[in-house]
Amino acid sequence: MKKWSMAFALMLGIFLLVGCGQKKYTPQAINEDVDVCVICNMQVKDDAFATQIVTKDGKNLKFDDIGCMNEWKQKNGVDHIGMDYVRDYNDKEWIQFSKATYVYDSSFRTPMAYGIISFKVKKSAEDFVHEQGTGQILSADELSNHTWQQSKDMMDMHMEEGMDGDMHEDMNMDHNGTN
C-alpha cells in the first residue's frame, strides 16, 4: 500500500511539473507607431482587423489583415506557430484563431481587401450578416478551404485612394457598413 502511495505522489508531482511548465503564447498589444505587417509592410492599426501569430520560440508576428496572416502561414507552415490570434470585430478582444467565427464577403472593406471579419461569438457574426444583408459565416476549419483572394474592386479603390498613412482609416468599416 505504501508503494502505491509513493507511486501516486510521484506521478502527481510529474503531472504538476509538466502541466505548469507549458509555455503560454499570449498576444501583444498593437503599437501603431512601430508595428508593421510582416507580409505587406503596412502599418498595423489597433483595430478589429489586426491579427498576430506567436511562434513557438516566443516571437510575435503582427498582421494588418487576416489574409496577410494566412499568406504567412502558407509560406512558412504552421509547425512554428505556438498560437494565432484574431480580434473580435465588436470589442477588439484577442481570440484564438481556431475559436473565432468568421464572416466573408468580397464587398467588406478590410485593410488588404480580403473581406473577412472575425467574431468571438457566432451569434454576433449572424447578427452582423443580418445587419449587412450579405456575408457568409465560416468557421476556422472552413477558412482552410477559402480561396483567399483579394477583392480586385477593393484593391483598385485602395489604389485610387492612394497609399498614404491614412488609407487604413478610410478602409475600416463602421458597424453600419459605411465609413
Q: Which of 143, 113, 111 shows the shortest CA–CA distance to 41? A: 111
Average confidence (pLDDT) over 16-43: 84
User: Which pLDDT value is given to residue 3?
Assistant: 59
In whole angstroms, what is the distance from residue 168 CA to residue 97 CA? 22
Q: Are 102 and 119 in contact (CB under 8 A)?
A: yes
With cell 454576433, the residue in question is 124
Lowest mean pLDDT among 8-17, 111-120, 122-131: 8-17
User: Which pLDDT value is given to residue 159?
Assistant: 55
Lowest mean pLDDT among 70-74, 101-105, 137-141, 143-147: 143-147
Kindly report, residue by residue over 120-177, the tens digit of the pLDDT.
999 999 999 999 999 999 999 999 888 888 876 655 555 555 544 444 344 344 433 4
User: 170 or 32: whose pLDDT is higher?
Assistant: 32
Q: Are 18 and 43 in contact (CB under 8 A)?
A: no
Whether residue 106 has pLDDT greater than 60: yes
Q: Which of 49, 76, 71 shows the shortest CA–CA distance to 167? A: 49
Question: Backbone phi, then psi, for 101, in 5-degree steps?
Answer: -110, 140
User: Which pLDDT value is given to residue 27?
Assistant: 96
The one-letter code for the residue type at 46 is D
User: 178 or 79: whose pLDDT is higher?
Assistant: 79
Q: Would you say the pTM of this structure is higher than 0.85?
A: no
Q: Are 98 and 53 in contact (CB under 8 A)?
A: no
| C-alpha dihedral sign at 58, 63, 66, 72 | negative
The one-letter code for the residue type at 3 is K
Residues 6+ apart with CB under 8 A from 124: 88, 89, 90, 101
Q: Are 106 and 117 in contact (CB under 8 A)?
A: no
